[in-house]
Structure 1
Amino acid sequence: MFVEERHQLIISILEKEGKIKVKDLSSRFRLTEDAIRKDLALLEKKKLLKRVYGGAVKIRDDFSFLALEDRKKILPKEKQKVAKKAFDKIKENSVIFLDISTINIEVAKMIIEAKLKILVITNMIEIFLQFLEKDTDIEFIFIGGKLDKKNKEGFVGSYSIEQIKNFQYDLAFLGATGINEEENIIFTYFLEDAICKKEIIRNSKEKYILIESKKLNIDGRVKFATFDEIDGIITEK
């Protein structure tokens, strides 16, 4: 096997598994571990992976903040798939929190269409508008507070947190800007949003992160949860 072929296979394995070990590659390609380390060093120079102790991991992307209207246009089919999986977890007569998330906009649309007998609570303006514009008998509460002046997507801050604390949620769906599986970190972009998310998690019986799978390779600015604090991560895959 040519060196370039081996390098392509290494990258292919890394894409599928997220991380690779020198020992496993050595066995697979029947090469010494030193030879594999040289391969990984070359691939790291080409910025195709990042070496770590005992192997390598994918190079992670940094989250770039986009306006709401722009984010809604990204991977719409994937967002729909995630929203449907989340929607299927909702039971009648339950209390649901929909966090600031473009996927939760799709969840809200499905709830309205199905005319579920539930109480929906949110701090996201776009979700509020969905319920305001539709003729529905679904019980709905909007959390107010400090408007994020930069992107104007929803209400955050201490007053919002005080309102969030007033309820016990059966189910909460939260957005995230990225997830680092290796380091057990779930990210958002703004500090005040992170504090609100923490309070939502604290007051929810079940809580799920809704993301497109590409965000499993993206880092954000602010950590708001670890895996042991949530019940699951829902992606289109």
Structure 2
Amino acid sequence: MYAEERRRQIASMTAVEGRVNVTELSERFDVTAETIRRDLAVLDREGVVHRVHGGAVASQSFQTSELTLDSRLRSATTAKMAIARAAMEFLPQGTGSIFLDAGTTTSAVADLIGQTPAAHQLSIVSNSLPIALSLANNGVQYVQLLGGTVRAITQAVVGDTALRTMALLRADVAFIGTNALTLDHGLSTADAQEAAIKSAFVTNAHKVVVLCDSSKLGTDYLVSFASLSEIDVVITDSGASEIFLNSLRDREIDVVVVDDLARS
């Protein structure tokens, strides 16, 4: 496991459980205690956790920083592919319609759709330049890319033009990516304009499927774009806290946990 991925999982565990212990983290990730202390020092400097004697406690601040698209493509790759494969089970049959949000896990879904001839009859709306190109290049017959302004860091289309188009559209299923998921703040992201498009996808879909690797559970970003009451399904990986997942189930959310090798 890369240090960045391990730190993201430590941050998620701290947010969900409130406190983490150096010894327990060392055993979980099969690294030395000194390595864990360095991880906690990095997370503390970033404001993600607060170091305390023997471990760390959760930070209550809302995050605003974003990784570049290339960095996110290299993060939790095994988990994202496993999540994408599970997401394929929620595709509508035949000539149904879907919203496909911008993001690296949703990009993995797009790749799988391109490899699945039976899914090429779907009508797909996306706000992602890479996703739209991938789908069109792989034989999907109806791909609508929202028009508007392109955010360089995520290559997502945002703005008033995209929102006006979204007001006219409906879909059977929305596949949504997120920077973070908490019980109180719901789904959140760093940018208000991108959050507005995500919110429109959620509002205008019959079913909402959230694709969220475990490193994002329990973390908070600045802009909330959907509450838990608006979510139907969460697909995550085996690094997720069972306590957190049970809290989602208590809210009548269908939770799918995929087997992955992301922590090996």
- TM-score, normalised to structure 2, is 0.66
SS at match of 1:224: strand
TM-fit CA distance, 1:47: 7.4
Given residue 127 of structure 1, which amino acid in structure 2 is its aligned partner?
I
Say if 1:227 and 1:113 are closer, same or farther in 2 by CA, change over 3 A.
Answer: same
SS at match of 1:201: helix
> 1:114 is matched with which residue?
116
Given residue 74 of structure 2, which amino acid in structure 1 is its aligned partner?
K
Say if 1:47 and 1:65 are closer, same or farther in 2 by CA, change over 3 A.
Answer: farther
CA displacement 1:3-35 (0-9 Å, x = unmatched):
xxxxxxxxxxx87x7369xxxxxxxxxxxxxxx
Contact kept? 1:60, 1:218, Cα under 8 Å: no
Say if 1:226 and 1:47 are closer, same or farther in 2 by CA, change over 3 A.
Answer: farther
Contact kept? 1:49, 1:59, Cα under 8 Å: no
Contact kept? 2:185, 2:220, Cα under 8 Å: no
CA root-mean-square deviation: 2.6
Contact kept? 2:179, 2:216, Cα under 8 Å: yes
Alignment pair present for 1:128 and 2:106: no
TM-fit CA distance, 1:178: 0.8
Given residue 198 of structure 1, which amino acid in structure 2 is its aligned partner?
S
Residues of 2 paired with 1:185 and 1:63: CA distance? Answer: 16
* Count of aligned pairs between the two proteins: 193
Larger radius of gyration between Structure 1 and Structure 2: 1
Gaps (5+ residues) in structure 2? 1-12, 20-49, 239-264
Given residue 18 of structure 1, which amino acid in structure 2 is its aligned partner?
E
SS at match of 2:153: coil
> 1:45 is matched with which residue?
52
> 2:87 is matched with which residue?
86
SS at match of 2:208: strand
TM-fit CA distance, 1:80: 0.4
TM-fit CA distance, 1:112: 1.1
Q: Structure 1 residue runs of 4+, over 6 Å off?
A: none
CA displacement 1:184-227 (0-9 Å, x = unmatched):
42111100011111111111100122111111132212111110
Structure with the bigger RCO (C-alpha within 8 Å, sep 6+) is 2
Contact kept? 2:163, 2:197, Cα under 8 Å: yes
How does 1:187-198 map onto structure 2 within 5 Å?
187-198=188-199
> 2:170 is matched with which residue?
168
Say if 1:63 and 1:79 are closer, same or farther in 2 by CA, change over 3 A.
Answer: farther
> 2:146 is matched with which residue?
143
TM-fit CA distance, 1:114: 0.6
CA displacement 1:128-155 (0-9 Å, x = unmatched):
1212333x1432111111222x425121
Given residue 114 of structure 1, which amino acid in structure 2 is its aligned partner?
T
Given residue 147 of structure 1, which amino acid in structure 2 is its aligned partner?
V
